[in-house]
Amino acid sequence: MFVNYENIFFKGVAFVVELLLLNLLLAILLHFFGYLVDPYLNREVLHLLSTLAYAVSFSQHGMIFDKPTAFIEGIMSKVFRTVFLFSLILVVAFVLSHIKFSVKFFALFFTLLYVVVFLWRYAARNFYRYWRHLPKNCSKVIILGAGQVAAKVYDELLKSRFQGYDVLGIYDDIESSDYKVDANLVKGGLHDAMEMIRSGRVNEVISALPASDDQKSLEILKEAERYFVKSLIVPDFQRYIKKGVSLVDVANIPMVLFRDEPLEEPWNSFGKRVFDIVFSLAVLIMLSPVYVIIAIAVKLSSPGPVFFKQKRTGKNGKDFYCLKFRTMKVNAEADKLQATKGDSRITKVGAVLRKTNLDEMPQFVNVLLGDMSVVGPRPHMVSQTEEYSKLIDEYMVRHLAKPGITGWAQVDGFRGETSDISQMVGRVQHDVWYIENWSFWFDIRIIFQTVFNMIKGDKAAY
């Protein structure tokens, strides 16, 4: 068994630093705002309780150094979970111990702690990336196999600079005409790989040989263990799976989960639903005067109803009626024909609503009803689903999540008309990526980007 002592060391350092930052921040706040805290509360006891609570929280949601660089949203999400669990443990401890505490003081404390821990972890991750990629700290790696899988492994190692891999060479017995990698990278056959391992210059060996060469691979990996060289095997299914997968245990049998979906986790799903309800209620209540004004404007713009109700495809392919402010004159093709630039069916009021996304506002009712989410893949017309599901392989995958009022594809340049199939392919790729990489902070980012686009206007909105 190989233990990543380097990761353990850095995680230990991070733990100590965060405890110091926690107690330093608490001491500063007590110095300036101590009057808000129960004067009978022993300061040393408060520091001790905080330290113990944070230790438990860090053990569940601490830093991870041996993974590729996280997006800022990923770090924010991890820090949020750390601080949230810490605050929950501390408050429960106070309540059970009948200790009086100031909501104002601890709200300030938890908020500043979030900011401080986020800045620290962001800086620490970047320092680790720099340190790990120094030549003396790189892990010396050889790759077995020169086929398509090996080419993919080599490319990914080059892109994963954060992990600090130095590929010494690729080894295979196949003919050079069958190489899927640059011939200059191939340093010899599998026998030469054995000699490299025995030389003591190799830290890790990665077998990317096809299943038909399992016996050869096993012999080399056994030899690697004799020389304390870490061995890794790239599963042969990597030939047709082009994304990350997860290993799950089913009835004590390890199985590969074909598609990892963060929203399948009950906690993530529950949190997203709570946010959807709270956010939607806030919008509907605070902007109710705006809804009334828009409704009047729509009614005066042309004969017909205020709202346009259209059947769209929802989660798991279940159809639902999506609400919008009517932006077109009443017409027989509304459920079949997508809006185009200069569409004569669009009213003057409708053009403004579509340009600013205000026509989508009634969909907050859909969110409350549970048919939609604030953020997710945009729901398409049933006719579009029937058409594109036959043309695009992963089209139906976008329906593994609830459709959203706004989405990653819409804020990243794939909004509006899809006259060319490549535009729909791009939208689907964004939707699938969102489903596989969802985080709460990613949703927040998309919401802010949507508001920004509403203010500046979107050229694709018509």
- Can you name the CATH fold of 137-240? Rossmann fold (3.40.50)
pLDDT at residue 409, rounded to an integer: 92
- Read off the pLDDT of each residue in 324-343 and give the average, rounded to a whole number: 76
Q: What torsion, rounded to 10 degrees, do the Cα atoms 290, 296, 301, 304 define?
A: 120
pLDDT for the residue 251: 56
Whether 7 shows a pLDDT value over 70: the answer reads: no
Closest CA to 20 of 60, 51, 49: 51
- Secondary structure letter of residue 311 according to DSSP: E
* Average pLDDT score, the chain: 85
97 pLDDT band, cuts 50/70/90, is confident
The domain segmentation of the chain, as residue ranges, is 5-132, 137-240, 266-456
**Residue 305 burial class via C-beta count within 10 angstroms: exposed 0-12, middle 13-18, buried 19 and up:** exposed
Q: Name 1's Cβ contacts closer than 8 Å, sequence gap at least 6.
A: none
What percentage of the chain carries pLDDT values higher than 70?
Answer: 86
> Are the C-beta atoms of residues 400 and 444 closer than 8 Å to each other?
no
pLDDT of residue 3: 41
pLDDT tens track for 390-420: 999 889 989 999 999 999 999 988 876 667 7
Q: What string of DSSP letters covers 173-203?
A: -S-GGG-SS-GGGEEE-HHHHHHHHHTT--S
For the cut 50, the answer to whether the pLDDT of residue 332 exceeds it is yes
69 pLDDT more than 50? no
Measure the CA–CA gap between 442 and 412, rounded to whole angstroms. 13
Q: What pLDDT is recorded for position 162?
A: 60
Average pLDDT of the segment spanning 413-431: 84
Q: pLDDT digits over 103-160, tens only?
A: 888 899 999 999 999 999 988 888 877 777 777 777 889 999 998 889 988 888 887 6
Tokens 């995958």 sit on residue: 397
Give the count of beta carbons closer than 10 Å to the beta carbon of residue 433.
14
* Average pLDDT of the residues in 36-48: 78
3-state secondary structure of 320: strand
Judged against a pLDDT cut of 70, whether residue 462 lies above it is answered with: no
**In contact, 194 and 168? CB cutoff 8 Å:** no
| Rounded CA separation 323/310 (Å) | 7
pLDDT at 152: 86
Under DSSP, the state recorded for 340 is -
Q: Residue 311 has what pLDDT?
A: 92
pLDDT value at residue 373: 96
The torsion angles phi and psi of 218, rounded to 5 degrees, stand at -65, -40
Bridge-based pairing state of the strands 230-233 and 246-250: unpaired
The dihedral formed by the CA atoms of 132, 133, 138 and 139, expressed in degrees to the nearest 10? 70
Q: For 264-283, b where at least 16 C-beta lie within 10 A, e where not — what string? A: eeeebbeebeebbeebbeeb
- The least confident of 59-73, 191-205, 447-461 is 59-73
CA distance 230 to 204: 5
pLDDT at 444: 92
Nearest CA among 418, 372, 373, 375 for reference residue 395: 418
CA distance 366 to 158: 45
8 A C-beta contact, residue 269 and residue 366: no
Q: And the tokens for 209?
A: 């040989």
pLDDT tier at 1, thresholds 50, 70, 90? very low
Distance between CA atoms of residues 144 and 168, nearest Å: 11
Rounded to two decimals, what is the model's pTM? Answer: 0.63
The total of other beta-carbon atoms located within 10 Å of residue 353's CB is 24
Confidence at residue 75, expressed as pLDDT on a 0 to 100 scale? 83
Please check whether residue 301 is in contact with residue 330, taking contact to mean a CB–CB distance below 8 angstroms: no
Q: Under a CB-based contact definition with an 8 Å cutoff, are residues 349 and 327 in contact?
A: yes
Read off the tokens for 155: 């490319």
